[in-house]
Chains A and B, each alone.
Chain A
Amino acid sequence: ETGVTQSPTHLIKTRGQQVTLRCSSQSGHNTVSWYQQALGQGPQFIFQYYREEENGRGNFPPRFSGLQFPNYSSELNVNALELDDSALYLCASSLLPLPQETQYFGPGTRLLVL
């Protein structure tokens, strides 16, 4: 059983560019959640995907978008990057989108926007 993996591990972009981050969920998990963690702060919920459909969204603008594929891997896309988008982006997978389900976190992608 493989854990949650994310790619790339680090990324540097400039303001205005677009970025795609990838997440492979743990085997058998059909729910993926994405979080943004700014330096020194707790993670903030971006959105969740369940069976390829968005299943909830946090307070993030539309330039943050996502996809979930039939194999339940997922992408986070951010358009028109801003300096404040610099953060650690975490994805977490779970078996079901239920409150009591344990979420398994990936190692994160550290994004720096210059």
Chain B
Amino acid sequence: KNEVEQSPQNLTAQEGEFITINCSYSVGISALHWLQQHPGGGIVSLFMLSSGKKKHGRLIATINIQEKHSSLHITASHPRDSAVYICAVRWNYGQNFVFGPGTRLSVLP
């Protein structure tokens, strides 16, 4: 069964902390996306990765194709980072996204 798993499921941090959210998947993929979903439903695409590392502001995403693992890091976290972070992959033979269950992040002031 092709699966996407995320850890942790829930995460509470103090403002300023460095945060890591992990995503692992079971078979080869053509692309991995990190998404941010705020309360109310709106989803924003943060990164698309097929190899290596990407950085945007305080966000860093890495992927290790051999280990089938990706991480999303948030430096100097802020309460406005509070959201659900979702990892979504496209399998090598598939067209559609398969989404992980999400990690709910709460950053306290």
Name A's B-contacting residues (CB within 8 A): 33, 35, 37, 41-45, 48, 55-56, 58, 88, 90, 92, 97, 99-108, 110
Contacts and interface: CB of A to CB of B under 8 A. Distances in A.
Contacts, number: 63
Contacts of A101: 48
B41 A56 contact: no
B96 A100 contact: no
Nearest to B96: A45
Interface stretch (B14-22, B52-60, B65-73, B98-106): B98-106
Given A99-B90, A100-B50, A58 B41 contact: no
B43 A90 contact: yes
Nearest to B92: A99
Contact of A58 (B40, B45, B96, B100): B96
**Residue of A43, A100, A104, A108 with most partner-chain B CB within 10 A:** A43
Given A42-B86, A48-B95, A99-B95, 10 more contacts: A33-B97, A43-B97, A45-B97, A97-B95, A99-B31, A99-B90, A100-B31, A102-B33, A105-B44, A108-B42
Interface residues of B, number: 24
A58 B50 CA distance: 23
B12 interface: no
Given A97-B95, A99-B31, A42 B45 contact: no
A103 B97 contact: yes
B26 interface: no
Contact of B102 (A42, A48, A97): A42
